[in-house]
A and B are shown apart, each in its own frame.
Chain A
Amino acid sequence: MASNEKVDVLIIGSGASGAAVAWSLAETKMRILCLEQGDWIKPTDFPSNGRDWEARRYTDFDISPNRRGRDTDYPINDDNSLMKIANFNGVGGGTVIYTAHWPRMHPSDFRVKSLDGVADDWPVDYWALEKFYEENDRMMGVSGLAGDPGVPPRHPPMPPIGLGKTGARYAQAMNRLGWHWWPSDTTIATTDYEGRGACINLGHCTPGCAQGAKASTDITYWPLALRAGVELRTRCRVREITTDEHGMAAGAIYYDADGVEQFQPAEVVILACNGVGTPRLLLNSASSRFPDGLANSSGLVGKNLMLHPWPIVSGYVEETLDGGRGPINCIWSKQFYETDPSRDFVRGYTLQFGRGTGPATQAMMGAASGLLPWGRNHHRHYRTMLDHRLSIGVACEDLPEEHNRVTLDPELKDSHGIPAPRVDYTISENTRRMMEHGIARAEEILTEAGATQIFASRTALNYPGHLLGTARMGTDPERSVVNEWGRCHDVKNLFIVDGSIWVTSGGVNPTSTIQALALYVADQMKQRLATLFD
């Protein structure tokens, strides 16, 4: 096996967290290398460049790696999960195909046990992360409006996306109901920002932004990290982390772009492969010293997977709205976010209000909901839907449960023969009650907005790609995988910075918090460089 020159820091995965940690550590002038299994994606590759833009959402830009099936993807057995796994494997990771919703966790999300008596408190709190949220907002470039009474103060550097006709329609209904709403924070640039062009309303943000207005880390953190001397090797798929005679991480074995097995030695290894890829890698790194997988003396590697069930409730009004001609990001509501003892569930959810979609997507959603008929009535009915759609996502917090987990599939393997992950996941009673509560509120809002043909898709249509909790943080080595600053309890030169270190999931899209945590861990490492392995 070929062995490479030793590096100081080896980062595995170049997505949201891998990019942030690479950039932050670059100032130490250590030799830093990132191995990423996927490619750089060129803006000209994104679907919105071509007439087949909607169809490609179901082929090479599908959100499921199983259907997308690029050679840079790995398969995931999610048959035993109502929620399917969505991700992207390439430079930028999930941020290449995320929707760029940018809420933060609330302070109460880090104190779930103390405040609501469920799950566990985090070993860090909102206030420890606040300055990293702010730094990350500047780095990713956030558009939004200060002054929201529903969330702690924050300072988005760009103005919010326009309300448009769709946003105004929601806003009027919310004002009549007396419920909170605010323009959503988003990492879609509304002005030119650090070399990125302002949004021109392509309206097809999720499968990549051809304009470059959406902040994926390949165009935010990575150019700066590379300029600062970090090396990024693409098409390098890591099979396992090896350890030395002292039980420390020695480096990683990977397959390079030509499929050749390589060994990359390192002083420090940082995992940033997301809440499915990281436990997979740790479990694939079992050895005689670590028979249950690396860093797994707690037995919690892969357990407590949280995926955010996300019902979507839609309806149609007579007024012609924005349709798909603008970002789906519109407004949010925190009206039902914090725990309310009068409800039959603990914790809460964000309501996310979306714009419409393109013509083919509208037809597919209409047909899937059973509202759009085939045959002679198709055209007349379709005209009541296209550009008339309102839709509200209910972003539900799911709490950690050990039976929701990532393990290694006994049969399924990726193109290099590496065992693939298997996901077992069910939705708890508390979450189901929360979902129904949110669906009922969304139906009330849509009715108030004058919508008809109201339809609730409970889980089948939207898998948010939030992969959390499978190598949780904590101070107790028996109840957690990493400590309060991201270092594995069992292996003192192995760190994890991606969504797997989450203790609970909040009712928000996670990436701003994933990156704030990655910057926080990097900061902790920089402060402790002399004593990092003590």
Chain B
Amino acid sequence: MQAAPETGLSEAEIHALGEIAGAMIPADAVLGMPAADDPAILADIARSLGRDLALVREALVAIAAKSRRPFAALDEEARDALVNEYYAQGGAAAVALGRVVLSAYYRDDRVLQALGHEPRPPFPKGYRLDQGDWTLLDPVRQRPSFWRDDRVTPTGSR
């Protein structure tokens, strides 16, 4: 099997990963969202497997076994059902697959922009946080203190 550079997965495994990722997060043209098997996103997923490599491989094998025939040959509804069912069963491999797909997908420039987020790291620009309405605290300020003062509560009173 030929290994794809920098990923640890073979070309065939990356292909399978792409099919599954594309089913997990398909494109939505109306909302302007690419699919998770978009070449740039898939390359990011594959590059970022790191310590999850073995678990993701396990997930690919498990999903292939569950689909009984080639995953890509299933219709959209069956693919949806299969990935949802597989993820819902839990387990470290499913969680790892979800984590690597979502981590890469939700840092893609196009995805963030379509969601109204700036495609940048938080630092150094940071964000603005409103003070909010502090008069909301007025009724709480009226309350007498209600913490138990052990200097006035007689010992053994309960």
Contacts and interface: CB of A to CB of B under 8 A. Distances in A.
A375 interface: yes
B132 A162 contact: yes
Secondary structure type dominating chain A contacts: loop
Interface string A220-245: 00000000000000000000000000
A210 B106 CA distance: 21
Contacts of A195: none
A110 interface: yes
Contact of A168 (B87, B111, B133, B147): B133
B134 A379 contact: no
Interface string B136-158: 11011101111111110101111
A270 to B, nearest CB: 29
A203 B118 CA distance: 14
Contacts of B11: none
Given A359-B117, A367-B102, A168 B132 contact: yes
Given A55-B103, A211-B123, A322 B129 contact: yes
Interface in B52-94: 76, 79-80, 83-84, 87-88
Contacts of A362: 106
A149 B146 contact: yes
A379 B33 contact: yes
B130 A182 contact: no
A68 to B, nearest CB: 10
B5 interface: no
A374 B158 contact: no
Contacts of A115: 148, 150, 153, 155, 157-158
A203 B130 contact: no
A375 B79 contact: yes
Contacts of B148: 106-108, 115, 338-339
Contacts of B129: 161-162, 164, 201, 322, 325-327
A456 to B, nearest CB: 17
B146 A168 contact: no
Interface of A: 46, 48-55, 58-59, 67, 69, 106-108, 110-111, 114-117, 125-127, 147, 149-152, 161-165, 167-168, 171-172, 175, 180-183, 200-204, 210-211, 322, 325-327, 334, 337-339, 341, 358-360, 362-364, 367-368, 370, 373-376, 378-380, 383, 386
